[in-house]
């Protein structure tokens, strides 16, 4: 670029030459200078224009382009509205789902350097999680080869007994020393536990969450030092955690572990498995190296304490994975689905833009004829695409803002979200990126179209562009849309069949019309087992007498809840192999339980009231799985004797019991998990925490039932917290809730994809038929049957759809491996699903093509030929 001086030199030399010419013609020098100057025009102005012509003047051009784009969009309001609406929905849905992904899988945990934190537990010989025993935990904590620090925790509930308020259960996490330090967090007010407070006989203290500080203490400033009254006595608040701090699902209180663990657990390596570990990797230590070290330590412990630790192994994973592992597959699947929908939206819009570009060919030609540069036109088309994308992005944000609260409310209660769903910076950045990518795609399409064609035809025969290249672009877009829709529909179909399979699974009991209410006997009066048994016996009787109740029972633990009770067993006459201790799960029930839950009796007899009585000879009932494992048939198990070893019965074992009956298996955790081996004990081994189960005669009126139960509970013991009743069917449904929700979302997106693809096909075929209207008119005039024309158009649509289906099926087969962990009862290549989904798409495509086909063939040939 010539410098300022060079430019002026050039312009000046022009002037000089002109002056010289004038002088040569005989003009005097003075007049020549004047004339030349006037002819030239203002030197400064010309200089500026030259400089402007050289510089791109990006900003001014950009604004001009944007204004032009706005005007051009305003001229076709229908197109603009449809485009912005479609884009808004597509980008909005994408943003909402991404905010969910971000809040769950991507947002950093509220701890320092959270990627270096790991979670640890111990598993038994069969890989079942049994958590750490305290001595084992201490051994791991002392080992400093790979961890810079390690903490531990256990979850329980504290009952808050404030005067004048209803007693409430608050989820609490008791933490070992060093836990908060491992997490690297500090309280917003007050302090963490002191060394003195983290001893077994230390002063009773508690750290509260920010949420609890607001809800219970009304956010009063002097909360540190205040007493929180609980059923264990008053706890002094020593600290308040910052807002947004989360450690434990719905946990609001943290207390020192040593104050809560009975002394006997402190030394017991064998049967007391009760805490989980959280550790921080040393800098430079990889996850794999830590895994090896942990494994080695487990082996050492197994060698050193063969009796208790022979088959015990430690298990480690990143803390993030522990929190979100079981839902990441579902979430990414839903995210993938919504992106597919957005791609279909973009394909539809690309079709619309191509049509528009063809219609504006004449406008482009005129503009070029009057001097607009190609580059300028290209930039303007680019600006139009970007403007459309930005408007769509804006509409998308509006949709997202509206939809976020709805999604938050619809999330199942146990969803591990690390904070509220908001449009924070990462989400906004993502939304912007998506809109920009879409804008880029849109701008390129008319550019490619316009500059591959000739730009200068001014008068064209027919007035409409009907080049093969344009039609092929439309056809390709239709194929792409069908392929995308097929992929999405295939995934949705597989999920639908999975849910169907899950719902058909026999649970082992009848969950219809069952009401449950879980009671916690949290006062010291119920420490002796006879007191508990008596309470529950009375509860069963009084609740069973309520109107509408067919039968009542109590159980611990209730199937499909997170409560689970494991034990070791020893069968009389079978010596367990050294490395394979016999484990099982157990439940405590009363005599009416099997009948109330309609669990079938397979051999022997169920419990009777005599078995429930204190001091009765020890008996157990086992399930069919256990019976068939150790004896050939259930009938053979009846009358045998076995022993159980559990942590809830202190250090000692239960006296050997006689097996009096065998019942059918019950799915105790989830429909898609195998039934656990189960040993049932009668009510004289009652827990302090059991669930009342009522079978109703008819569908219960929820409010009346709750009120009646409330009365029964208060009458029995007013000092206990009155539990909230839940329907068993809801509890069972909750165990599938995340899968269920993702399936619903997937169905919605698949439906949207089908609709959009159908509309796309309809639109493109209408357009193509309209382009060929003249051709059709001629053919009909020459005697062709309209029916053949119709068939031709429909056949064309079927051909495009078939290609799309083929591509989509291939894509579905490849992508379905990401779904594999979510499927149940159906393989990922399931032909039935693929075929049905393909048929649905094919029929939709044919339906979408019928109207334009019929319209094209019934067009009056005269009007078709005349419309030029």
Partner 1 sequence: MNASPDLLPGTLDLLVLKILALGPRHGYAIARRLRQISDTVLEVRQGSLYPALHRLERQGWIRAKWQVSETGREARFYSLSAAGRRQLAREAAAWERMSEAVKLVLAAAE
| Contacts with partner 1, residue ranges (CB under 8 A) | 2, 6, 9-11, 13-14, 16-18, 20, 39-42, 45-46, 49-54, 368-373, 375, 456, 458-459
State the minimum distance, in angstroms, from the CB of residue 45 to partner 1: 7
Phi, psi at 517, each rounded to 5°: -150, 125
Please tell me the distance from the alpha carbon of residue 844 to that of residue 846, in angstroms, as a whole number. 5
DSSP 601-626: EEEE----HHHHSTTPPPEEEEEHHH
Rounded Cα–Cα distance for residues 343 and 480 (Å): 9
Structure tokens at 90: 């597509």
List, in order, residues 6 or more apart from 556 with CB less than 8 Å away.
563, 565, 587, 588, 589, 686, 687, 689, 690, 691
Is the Cβ–Cβ distance between 100 and 331 less than 8 Å? yes
Q: How far is CA 687 from the centre of its chain?
A: 36
Q: Could you tell me the two tokens for 410?
A: 């619809």
Instruction: Give the distance, in angstroms, between the CA of residue 452 and the centroid of all CA atoms in the same chain.
Output: 44
Q: To 5 degrees, how large is the angle CA 98–CA 99–CA 104?
A: 95
C-alpha distances in Å from residue 523, one per residue of 157, 200, 236, 254, 715: 13, 20, 20, 21, 16
What secondary structure does DSSP assign to 20-51, as a single string?
HHHHHTT--HHHHHHHHHHHH--HHHHHHHHH
The nearer residue to partner 1, 6 or 191, going by C-beta atoms, is 6
Q: How far apart are CA 132 and CA 294, in angstroms?
A: 13
Query: Is 296 exposed, middle or buried, given 0-12, 13-18 or 19+ CB atoms closer than 10 A?
Result: middle
Which residue from 110, 113, 109 is spatially nearest to 283, judged by alpha carbons?
Answer: 113
What's the closest the beta carbon of residue 13 comes to partner 1, in angstroms?
6
Q: Can you say whether residue 225 is alpha, beta or left, with left for phi > 0 and alpha for psi between -120 and 50 degrees? A: left
Q: What gap in Å lies between CA 841 and CA 827, rounded to an integer?
A: 21
Q: In angstroms, rounded to a whole number, what is the distance separating the alpha carbons of residues 182 and 150?
A: 6
Give the pairing type, strands 549-556 and 147-160: unpaired
Q: Tell the smallest beta-carbon distance from residue 459 to partner 1 (Å).
A: 6
Helix (H) or strand (E) holding 663: strand 657-663
Phi, psi at residue 226, to the nearest 5°?
Answer: -75, 160
Report angle CA 671, 548, 560 to the nearest 5 degrees.
Answer: 15
Written as six digits, the tokens of 737 are: 């809730």
Which one, 460 or 469, has the nearer CB to partner 1? 460
Q: Concatenated DSSP letters for 239-261?
A: EEPPTT---STT--EEEEGGGTS
Instruction: Name which of 729, 716, 183, 758 is nearest 509 in CA terms.
Output: 729
| Helix/strand/coil percent split, the chain, to 5 | 55, 15, 30
Distance, CA of 335 to CA of 343 (rounded, Å): 13
**Token pair of 653 as six digits:** 């074992």
DSSP state letters, 291-348: HHHHHHHHHHHHHH-HHHHTT-EEEEEEHHHHHHHHHHHHHHHHHHHHHHHHHHHHHH
- The answer to whether 305 and 136 are in contact (CB under 8 A) is no
- Residue 750, helix vs strand vs coil: helix
Query: How far does CA 413 lie from the centroid of its chain?
Result: 13
Between 127 and 371, CB nearer to partner 1: 371
Pairing of strands 583-589, 601-604: unpaired
Specify whether the CB–CB gap between 178 and 193 falls below 8 A.
Answer: no
């Amino acid at each position: 670029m010539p410098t300022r001086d060079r430019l002026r030199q050039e312009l000046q030399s022009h002037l000089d030459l002109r002056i010289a010419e004038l002088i040569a013609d005989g003009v005097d020098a003075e007049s020549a200078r004047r004339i030349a100057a006037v002819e030239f025009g203002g030197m400064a102005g010309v200089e500026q224009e030259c400089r402007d012509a050289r510089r791109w003047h990006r900003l001014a051009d950009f604004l001009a382009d944007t204004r032009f784009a706005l005007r051009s969009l305003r001229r076709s309001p229908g197109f603009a509205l449809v485009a912005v609406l479609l884009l808004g929905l597509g980008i909005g849905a994408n943003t909402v789902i991404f905010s969910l992904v971000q809040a769950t899988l991507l947002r950093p945990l509220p701890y320092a350097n959270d990627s270096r934190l790991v979670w640890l537990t111990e598993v038994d010989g069969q890989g079942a999680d049994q958590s750490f025993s305290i001595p084992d935990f201490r051994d791991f904590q002392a080992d400093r080869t790979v961890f810079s620090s390690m903490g531990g925790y256990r979850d329980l509930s504290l009952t808050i007994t404030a005067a004048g308020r209803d007693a409430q259960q608050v989820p609490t996490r008791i933490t070992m020393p060093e836990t908060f330090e491992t997490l690297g967090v500090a309280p917003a007010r007050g302090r963490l536990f002191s060394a003195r407070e983290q001893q077994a006989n230390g002063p009773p203290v508690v750290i509260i969450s920010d949420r609890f500080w607001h809800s219970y203490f009304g956010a009063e400033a002097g909360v540190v030092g205040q007493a929180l009254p609980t059923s264990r006595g008053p706890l002094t608040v020593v600290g308040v955690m910052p807002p947004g701090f989360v450690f434990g699902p719905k946990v609001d209180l943290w207390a020192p572990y040593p104050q809560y663990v009975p002394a006997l657990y402190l030394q017991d390596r064998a049967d007391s498995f009760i805490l989980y570990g959280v550790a921080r990797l040393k800098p430079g230590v990889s996850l794999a190296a830590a895994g090896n070290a942990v494994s080695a330590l487990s082996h050492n412990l197994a060698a050193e304490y063969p009796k208790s630790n022979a088959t015990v192994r430690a298990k480690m994973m990143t803390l993030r994975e522990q929190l979100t592992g079981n839902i990441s597959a579902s979430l990414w699947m839903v995210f993938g689905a919504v992106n597919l929908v957005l791609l279909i939206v973009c394909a539809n819009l690309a079709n619309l833009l191509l049509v528009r570009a063809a219609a504006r060919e004449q406008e482009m030609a005129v503009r070029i004829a009057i001097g607009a540069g190609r580059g300028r036109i290209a930039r303007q088309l680019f600006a139009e695409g970007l403007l459309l994308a930005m408007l769509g992005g804006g509409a998308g944000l509006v949709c997202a803002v509206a939809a976020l609260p709805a999604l938050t409310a619809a999330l199942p209660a146990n969803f591990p979200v690390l904070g509220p769903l908001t449009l924070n910076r990462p989400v906004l950045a993502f939304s912007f990126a998506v809109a920009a990518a879409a804008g880029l795609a849109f701008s390129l399409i008319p550019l490619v179209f316009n500059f591959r064609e000739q730009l200068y035809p001014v008068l064209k025969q027919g007035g409409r562009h009907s080049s093969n290249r344009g039609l092929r672009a439309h056809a390709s877009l239709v194929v792409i849309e069908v392929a995308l829709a097929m992929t999405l529909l295939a995934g949705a179909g597989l999920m639908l069949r999975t849910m169907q399979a899950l719902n058909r699974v026999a649970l082992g009991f009848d969950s219809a019309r069952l009401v449950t209410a879980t009671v916690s006997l949290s006062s010291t009066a119920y420490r002796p087992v006879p007191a508990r048994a008596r309470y529950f016996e009375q509860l069963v009787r009084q609740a069973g007498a309520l109107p509408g109740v067919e039968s009542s029972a109590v159980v611990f633990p209730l199937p499909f809840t997170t409560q689970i009770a494991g034990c070791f067993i020893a069968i009389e006459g079978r010596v367990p192999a050294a490395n394979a201790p016999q484990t099982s799960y157990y439940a405590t029930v009363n005599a009416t339980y099997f009948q109330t839950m309609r669990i079938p009796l397979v051999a022997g007899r169920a419990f009777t009231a005599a078995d429930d009585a204190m001091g009765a000879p020890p008996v157990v009932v086992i399930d069919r799985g256990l019976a068939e494992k150790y004896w050939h048939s259930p009938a053979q198990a009846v009358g045998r004797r076995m022993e159980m070893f559990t942590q809830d019965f202190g250090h000692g074992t239960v006296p050997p019991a006689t097996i009096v009956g065998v019942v059918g298996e019950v799915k105790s955790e989830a429909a898609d998990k195998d039934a656990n081996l189960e040993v049932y004990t009668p009510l004289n081994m009652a827990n302090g925490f059991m669930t009342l189960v009522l079978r109703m005669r008819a569908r219960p009126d929820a409010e009346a039932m709750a009120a009646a139960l409330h009365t029964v509970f208060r009458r029995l013991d007013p000092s206990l917290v009155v539990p909230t009743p839940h329907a068993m069917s809801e509890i069972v449904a909750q165990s599938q809730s995340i899968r269920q929700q993702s399936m619903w979302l997937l169905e919605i997106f698949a439906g949207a994809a089908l609709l959009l693809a159908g509309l796309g096909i309809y639109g493109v075929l209408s357009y193509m038929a309209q382009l060929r209207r003249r051709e059709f008119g001629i053919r009909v005039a020459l005697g062709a049957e309209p029916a053949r024309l119709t068939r031709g158009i429909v056949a064309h649509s079927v051909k495009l759809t078939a290609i799309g289906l083929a591509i989509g099926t291939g894509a579905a087969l490849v992508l379905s491996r990401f779904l594999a962990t979510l499927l149940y009862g159906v393989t990922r290549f399931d032909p039935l699903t693929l075929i049905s989904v393909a048929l649905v798409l094919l029929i939709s495509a044919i339906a979408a093509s019928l109207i334009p086909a019929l319209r094209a063939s019934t067009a009056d040939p005269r009007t078709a030929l005349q419309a030029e």
